[in-house]
Each structure stands twice: as C-alpha cells, then as structure tokens.
A and B are shown apart, each in its own frame.
Chain A
C-alpha cells in the first residue's frame, strides 16, 4: 500500500441474506488507497457484486463499518445515500444499462440532471469525445455496438467527476477484442483523472492491468 489517502476502508463488513443462511459478505476487511486501480476477483457467488452494492450504498451492510473517503457510508440516510451516489461514485454495470429511448448524450446527462452550475450538454459531449464517441452523440443505444454502449456507460459514470469509479464485470458481455479496448479505456481514464477504480471481474487481463488484485471467497478477502 502507498501513503496515499484512503479511499475505501471496510472493517468487519457483513451482509447476509435469507436470515443469515447466505453470507454474501462475511466480516470482510478491505482498504483501497485513493487513485488505486483494484481488481476484485473470485468465483461466482463469492460476494463481489454485493460488495460493490455496499460500496455504492444501494445496499446496506448488516455489520461492520464502511468508510469511503472518510465518510461513514453505513450511517447515510436515504437522501445522503442519493447524494453520495450522485457526487462521489460512478457506476458501470456488466450490461450497459443505458435508457433505450435516450440518445448517447442524453444518457450521459442523466446523472447531471438537477445539479446546479452544471453544463450537462457540454460536459456530456466532452466525455463522449473522451471515450471516442464524438461521432455518435445523437445515436440511440440500439444503434450502437456492445463496446460503444459500454463506452457511453463509462462516460455516464464519469459525468459528475466521481472520486470512486466502480465497475461490475464491465467486459463480461463483450467479445475479447472489444473487452480489451474497454480495459484500455478504463486504465487510460483512471490514470488521466486520478480516479480510484474498483473493478469486479473474472477477466485475467484486468488483473494484469490493475495495481492490485483482491481475491474473494465465501464473502471474505482471501488474498
């Protein structure tokens, strides 16, 4: 670990389902430095996605503590969690999850809606240019390729300049060539913006590019 400030600090983090029978995240300890690119690996059902949900505050832990940039995520109320997701976190899903009836540029503007002093149009166009889609800003998701959709999703995740970028198997639904290009894009953006990147993945190529690989098994960090 470097001496950089701590981005994520989880201690004894626990999330159980089905009355404790399913221990998705089980007394997990994890520390991620700001600006670090961490790949989280592990077999299916080991709790990777649940951990990501806890980090985005769309799910709440049953026990332990979770601090992101020194903010106690566990104690956030509903409005606080909304604000946290809007201001501090960018999320990229395995499936692009773009709204099909909105164009690329409109999808990227979604997280910026209602924010004061935002110039959503300019910012969205700038982000789409950055991910190489300046030519497709007015395209609907249905007219984009899988890789292009994920690029739009990345641009959307970066809309509010988050300090923490979370990606849940973003290359899972892409062919290897497109997946490789997307990883390149993530790495390039993470380095250029200094964003902390946590990527859940099965993809060995991601592990090779990450600063650190965290292996999970049965809800715990095992290496």
Chain B
C-alpha cells in the first residue's frame, strides 16, 4: 500500500480542528487530481516531506493505513454497534439475570461467612440450639437443664449461655445479645474500646452500630423504654454482632418474656477433642439438642440459609431464562431484518457455519456487555444493602471471583442458547431468495 500523498481522508482519523486545517490543503490538492472516469487513478506527485508539514504527513499516513484485518470479532462489534440502543437494551435483559446472581450470591455468601465467623468468635468450638426449629431465633433451651446435660461430656471445657433477640431502635432493627457479665469475659477479646458491662444498666455496643449512630463510650442509650450506659465497643467482624448490642442476659430474657430460657450455648472443648465426634455424642444422647460447628450445618437450626440459597438459584435462573429469551428474540428480529445481507454473504461464498458463527458471536457479544452491566448493577444492589436500614444489621455482602465467574459463564452460555434458533434460521436462508428480498 502506498504511503504517498493522495486523498485519503477518513473523518474518523481527524481528531480536532487543527487536523482539519492541516488536512484541508491535502484534500483539495488530491481532489484536483482525482480522475472522474479513469480506472487507473494515480497519485499525483507528492510535495516534499519537510519538517514543517511533518505532522500533516503523519496524519495522512495514518489515514492511508489500512485498518486491522477484518475478523469475526470486528464484524461482530460493528454489527452490535449498528444498533446501539437495541444492543444495550438487550444486554440490559441479560444484565438483570447477571446482577441477580451477583447480588444474591454476594449476600448469601456474606451471610454464610458471618455465620462461620459467629461460630468461631473467641474460639467457640460448637454452638448448641434447640433441635427441630425453623430459625435459630426460635430456639428456647432451659438453661439449668441443658447445663446439666453438658456435664455428661468431659470433652466440654466451658459453656456460655446466650440469648438473641431483635428489637426496634430508631426505625430500624437492632440485634440484642444477652450474656452473663462473668461469661462476657469469654468473648472480650473483641472489645476494642472501654470495658465489659458489669450491671443491668450497662451495655456494650457493636462497632458498626457505634459508627452509624455516632455513640461514644459513656453515652446513654434508650432501648425498649429503658436507658443504659455504654461501657464498651466490640468489633467481631460479624455483622450481626457489630451492628447490635450486648447486655445482661436477664434483660433480654425480659424482652422475650422468658424466666430461665436461653437461645443457645457456645461450647469450648478440651484441647484435642474431635468436634464432630462430640456433636454426634450430644445429638445421639439428647436428640432435642442441635449442635453445629460450621456454617454448612446451619441448616439444622435455621432453614433460612438453605431457603435463601434456593431463592438465589430460582431468581437467578428465572432472570437468566428471561435474558436468554430477550437475546433470542432480538437476534431473531435482527436475522429477519438482515435477510438480504445474509444472502449477500452466502452469495459471495460464506458458508452456513460462518453465517451462524456471526449470529452466535453477536449474542455472545450482547452477553458480554450484559455481564459488564450486570456486574455493576449486582455490585450496586448488594452494596445498597449496607445502607438499607432494615437489612444493614443482617447483611454483609461478600464477593468472590467465583460469583462473577459463574455469572459470566451462565450468561454467555444462555446467550449462545438464545442465539441458536436465530442462528439456525440464518443458516437456512436461501441466498437466491434473500437476494430478491427487499
């Protein structure tokens, strides 16, 4: 390809008004030499390349430079860019599904992570709840009776009783954990400021709750009609606790109307004990107790996590099926509108496979754009839970590359699936008929 001065101006290479001015003379120069009927247009003798017009020469040279070779990717990008609004709207259909996978996945993962962390706060090995309940908050164990049962197991070093309750506070939900002051010492490694509570008019607050409500140690706080003085701040890394408060167990019993019940016990085992073996022994001996060591076992005492996992899959699947149909519908319309174009490609030697390839690639392109949008939307949605008053105490979204990878793979696969009917349709177009098509 020649690099000489000839009229080769493509406006896409002209970036500013200075380029226009520089190019003006070359354009008019080349037009004068253009041959209106000649089949052998020859470049005119170029002016010498001087330093003064070096920039001009560089621009012209760039304009003359052939673009990169045409590839399937390039054609796909051009085709998608032809109808930018349609492409974006279709991609948005995919993005809804992707964002559902990302947002619900991150929330579910965060929930699971919080449970794992909660189980491991201050080296608790096991947690004991009432068996057969639908949610851990419904657990009600007789404290004295259960402690007596623990005495049967020499592997248990200590047991901390706790009650969890939820109250309304400043138009949002607040998790309240009740502990004995002497047992609170077991978990005070999480204390980051002040001291533990010692009496029934003192409480310790979570760091997230403190940040949100701007409380300081020494401040007074009113919960459910009673006033308490804040003595310390804990930071456990578990959203439930860090967004809540810890107070005397008897106060929380009072909130729940219980006399001697507790929600759960945290057990610490003698060093060298096998937690799974202890779980089996306790549950075999006392079937009314449910014991867990890890988040995977949480289903024993709360169906919520499993239900949330299932909900994630159902909503994601539904959203993605809709995305798949949207892509399929768009590509079907696109193929119908491009019948003649497809006929031309077939007439100049494109195989059915290559034509199908274009349609499938375009769908993958839409899926990819949808993924990018969906990632952003999903991230935004899950992050929004951190500021939504009613859920911020319970949700701590946790992202992993796996969630994004899964969303990407599923979206691309479904885009391909959605593109199959239009791709097959495109392959069946008869070039002879397509060329007659207007």
- Chain B residues, Cβ within 8 Å of A85: 346-349
- Chain A residues, Cβ within 8 Å of B69: 109, 120-121
Q: Report yes or no: B41 in contact with A135, Cβ–Cβ below 8 A.
A: yes
Task: Tell me if A99 counts as interface (CB < 8 A to partner B).
Answer: yes
Distance of A116 Cα from B212 Cα, bound (Å): 65
A106 to chain B minimum Cβ distance, whole angstroms, is 5
Task: Tell me if B217 counts as interface (CB < 8 A to partner A).
Answer: no
Task: Tell me if A105 counts as interface (CB < 8 A to partner B).
Answer: yes
Task: Tell me if B45 counts as interface (CB < 8 A to partner A).
Answer: no
A122 to chain B minimum Cβ distance, whole angstroms, is 7
Q: Report yes or no: A180 in contact with B37, Cβ–Cβ below 8 A.
A: yes
B121 to chain A minimum Cβ distance, whole angstroms, is 60
Interface size counted on chain B using CB atoms at 8 A = 48
Interface flags, A130-171, vs B, CB<8A=1, else 0: 011111111100000000000000001100100000000000
Q: Report yes or no: A132 in contact with B432, Cβ–Cβ below 8 A.
A: no
The A-B contact count (CB < 8 A) is: 125
B72 to chain A minimum Cβ distance, whole angstroms, is 7
Distance of A82 Cα from B349 Cα, bound (Å): 5
Distance of A66 Cα from B350 Cα, bound (Å): 22
Given A101-B82, A134-B41, A160-B349, the answer on whether A122 and B35 have CB atoms closer than 8 Å is no
Distance of A185 Cα from B338 Cα, bound (Å): 30
Task: Tell me if B49 counts as interface (CB < 8 A to partner A).
Answer: no
Task: Tell me if B145 counts as interface (CB < 8 A to partner A).
Answer: no
Contact residue among A58, A125, A129 (Cβ-Cβ distance under 8 Å from B435): A58
- Chain B residues, Cβ within 8 Å of A139: 10
- Chain B residues, Cβ within 8 Å of A79: 351
Question: Which residue on chain B has the smallest CB distance to residue A57?
Answer: B431
- Chain B residues, Cβ within 8 Å of A184: 37, 39
Question: Which residue on chain B has the smallest CB distance to residue A58?
Answer: B431
B41 to chain A minimum Cβ distance, whole angstroms, is 4
Distance of A174 Cα from B39 Cα, bound (Å): 15
Question: Which residue on chain A has the smallest CB distance to residue B1?
Answer: A125
Q: Which of A78-105 contact B (CB under 8 A)?
A: 78-79, 82-83, 85-87, 89, 91, 93, 97, 99, 101-103, 105
The interface of chain A, by Cβ under 8 A from chain B, is 53, 56, 58-59, 78-79, 82-83, 85-87, 89, 91, 93, 97, 99, 101-103, 105-106, 109-111, 113-114, 120-122, 124-126, 129, 131-139, 156-157, 160, 177-178, 180-181, 184-185, 188
